[in-house]
Structure 1
Amino acid sequence: MNAPLFKGVITALITPFRDGRIDEDAFARLIERQIGAGVHGLVPMGTTGESATVSVEEHQRAVEMCVSVASGRVRVIAGAGATGTDKSIALAAHAKRVGADGVLVVTPYYNRPSQAGMAAHFSAIADQVQVPILLYNVPSRTGVDLCNDTVAALSAHPNIVGIKDATGDLGRLSAMRNMVPEGFALISGDDPSYPGYLAQGGHGVISVTSNVAPEAMVHLTRAIWEGDLKAAWTCQARLIRLHRALFLDSSPAPTKYALSRLGLCEESLRLPLLACAEAVRPEVDAAMLEAGLAPEPS
């Protein structure tokens, strides 16, 4: 049996800022916290990392830092998504050069390419850079949907090893499993539906919630792997409010607010994103308490 290259809890890391720059000390602490909690992988400079608002130099520095701090203890899958194929190729090449284990490439956004255009985009990256690639489909953000037939065709490329599916459509997973090779990594990108995704044959999650509650997400995953569904559902019941609260304002604003309440980083974001709305903060606090996390006093 071919095992997927990527599986388990893979955290879509936020990028902490201080005084308008990446807070490298906080970033290193966040990475160490994740590894200490037992996560299986990290994604620096994905969309949760505010990749759309940083410079190329900052993007590359964050990837380099993550690879260096992780130091082989967990897999690092660097974000390499862009609206233009040449830029994605350059980001993927840099990630490979500095030692990332793979790259996560979102479907091009805003320009809304056809299925044929997306297939050509991913194929060009896979042809140019010899690095494992995870496709990333998130239609609610990009305006395009990478259909199962296109995924199946792309899965024949030796460098395309899996997909992050953030549609939340569990029926899509059941169909996709029958269309891709054994060992093609099927990774959820939707925390609320993740237990169902894993139970139906998925291999893991690229999670926003695990920024805040990594131990709980690891516990949930292990429970399902071990067939202890009662423990898994109990864990998910404690997390579901947090899953939802972290998207009550533009992501990653609520996540950064939650991490600031844990004393782990400032909640600064890059424009056009703003700090978490005042009306949302009490719900994030309540969700953290329900998940067993104790925010610091305001």
Structure 2
Amino acid sequence: MQVPRIPPLRWSRSLCRRLSGPGIRGAPRRFGAVAGGSGGRLDLRGIYPPLTTPFTSQGEVDYVRLEENVRLYDKVPFRGFVAQGSTGEAPYLTQQERLEVVRRLRQAVSKEKLLLAGSGCETTRGSIEMTAQVADKGADAALVVTPCYYQGSMTSAALIHHYTEVAEASPIPVILYSVPANTGLEIPDDVVLTLAQHPNIVGIKDSGGNITRLGLLVHKTKNENFQVLAGSAGFLLASFIVGAVGGICALANVLGTPLCQLESLCFSGSWDKACELQHRLIEPNAAVTRKFGIPGLKQAMEWFGYYGGLCRAPLLPLSKTQVTELHQDFTSNGWL
């Protein structure tokens, strides 16, 4: 497969113009404090692992193991970390556990790295309250997943109202989170394009894997201070080609350095090497996401020197047969 020969300089200049546009007007008080970019806007460029949540043998959150993992990850050139995403088993944690995870991570993570925290709840009021609380615990931005329990009622109007209310109340920037595999609901294009105009909504993590959609969102928001993040390592290269600025990828918990290398190869225009690396990441990524999920990811973490451990019930550990298959997905691509 030949990757299209996009002229590196032309592409990167266009992207840089979009990334370094004028600051956002009317931004909340904490907006400029974590920018890392021009004009006081939050710069999301880079790779982020959505951190897993370790548990003790008694099923309690193991904050010590969490901090140990972060110290190891701090050696990888990540742009930052995500707490309380789908990979962090957020739906299985109490509100107090979720907030304590964010607090501990903010203390453990290097100051120059961003901490994005999941704060989406099923109600608008709950999302507003959780967003304020993760901000208080030190999160730099809130990752807000779609409410989905009453899926049939989540019209474009309902979603626009929900996210607008959250963004208006939030003391930190808001990132939309579309993960249809888990919610059964993709944030519609028209909703994203409308919300991209809000001064406190700075981007989207899109895990749907529709590259045409990602390219369209990049194209249609090129005049907004809005950034697109790929939600999986399986389509990271393609996402960069159409203008995504980074990725929040579960596989980064295991193969963080190669994912950062892929980003570097893309932005330097080394397409052949980038394509070769992307091919080697596809099967391992599928294994720790849709095939075996979080139990598979935590098992793989053990092989690469991190603490994975058990998931919280009702998630079950892998069977011996599944462990063997998972191992093969990594060894056949040269990672083990």
- TM-score of the two chains, using structure 1 as the length reference: 0.93
Query: Paired residue for 2:215, among 174, 188, 201?
Result: 174
Distance of aligned partners of 1:250 and 1:55 in 2 relative to their CA distance in 1, 3 Å threshold: farther
Counting aligned pairs with the same residue, the percent is: 28
8 Å CA contact 1:249–1:280 kept in 2: the answer is: no
Query: Paired residue for 2:121, among 72, 77, 82?
Result: 82
Alpha-carbon distance in 1 for matches of 2:79, 2:216: 26
Query: Paired residue for 1:13, among 38, 51, 57?
Result: 51
Instruction: Establish whether residue 47 from structure 1 lines up as the match of residue 76 from structure 2.
Output: no
Deviation at 1:59, TM superposition (A): 0.2
8 Å CA contact 1:35–1:73 kept in 2: the answer is: no
Alpha-carbon distance in 2 for matches of 1:174, 1:49: 28
Aligned to 1:69: 108
8 Å CA contact 2:50–2:81 kept in 1: the answer is: yes
What pairs with 1:139-178 in structure 2 (closer than 5 Å)? 139-178=180-219
What pairs with 1:185-204 in structure 2 (closer than 5 Å)? 185-204=227-246
Aligned to 1:134, the other structure's residue is in SS state: strand
Query: Paired residue for 1:97, among 136, 144, 165?
Result: 136
Deviation at 1:249, TM superposition (A): 4.3
Query: Paired residue for 1:28, among 61, 67, 70?
Result: 67
Deviation at 1:144, TM superposition (A): 1.7
8 Å CA contact 2:218–2:242 kept in 1: the answer is: no
Alpha-carbon distance in 2 for matches of 1:190, 1:257: 18
Distance of aligned partners of 1:98 and 1:220 in 2 relative to their CA distance in 1, 3 Å threshold: same
Q: How many pairs does the alignment contain? A: 294
8 Å CA contact 1:81–1:108 kept in 2: the answer is: yes
Instruction: Supply the AA of the counterpart residue of 2:205.
Output: K
Where in structure 2 are there 5+ consecutive unaligned residues?
A: 1-16, 20-41
Deviation string 1:89-121 (CA, Å, 9 cap, x unpaired) is 122101211221101001112221111111111
Alpha-carbon distance in 1 for matches of 2:333, 2:53: 23
Alpha-carbon distance in 2 for matches of 1:61, 1:135: 23
8 Å CA contact 1:103–1:133 kept in 2: the answer is: yes
Instruction: Establish whether residue 268 from structure 1 lines up as the match of residue 319 from structure 2.
Output: no
8 Å CA contact 1:110–1:143 kept in 2: the answer is: no
Distance of aligned partners of 1:25 and 1:193 in 2 relative to their CA distance in 1, 3 Å threshold: same
Deviation string 1:137-196 (CA, Å, 9 cap, x unpaired) is 112221222111111111111110000111100111222123223441100112211110
Instruction: Supply the AA of the counterpart residue of 1:25.
Output: V
Alpha-carbon distance in 2 for matches of 1:277, 1:247: 16
Deviation at 1:230, TM superposition (A): 1.4
Aligned to 1:83, the other structure's residue is in SS state: coil
- TM-score of the two chains, using structure 2 as the length reference: 0.83
Instruction: Supply the AA of the counterpart residue of 2:88.
Output: G
Distance of aligned partners of 1:266 and 1:41 in 2 relative to their CA distance in 1, 3 Å threshold: closer
Alpha-carbon distance in 2 for matches of 1:63, 1:293: 31
Aligned to 1:214, the other structure's residue is in SS state: helix
Alpha-carbon distance in 2 for matches of 1:21, 1:121: 32
From the CA coordinates, give the structure whose radius of gyration is larger.
2
CA RMSD of aligned residues (A): 1.6
Alpha-carbon distance in 1 for matches of 2:193, 2:304: 42
Alpha-carbon distance in 1 for matches of 2:113, 2:271: 26
Alpha-carbon distance in 1 for matches of 2:64, 2:332: 29
Deviation string 1:21-63 (CA, Å, 9 cap, x unpaired) is 1111211121122221111111011111000000001000111
Deviation at 1:280, TM superposition (A): 2.0
Distance of aligned partners of 1:77 and 1:165 in 2 relative to their CA distance in 1, 3 Å threshold: same
Aligned to 1:12, the other structure's residue is in SS state: coil
Deviation at 1:235, TM superposition (A): 1.4
Alpha-carbon distance in 2 for matches of 1:9, 1:263: 20
Query: Paired residue for 1:218, among 260, 273, 289?
Result: 260
Distance of aligned partners of 1:168 and 1:63 in 2 relative to their CA distance in 1, 3 Å threshold: same
Deviation at 1:275, TM superposition (A): 1.2
Deviation at 1:81, TM superposition (A): 1.5
Instruction: Supply the AA of the counterpart residue of 1:222.
Output: S
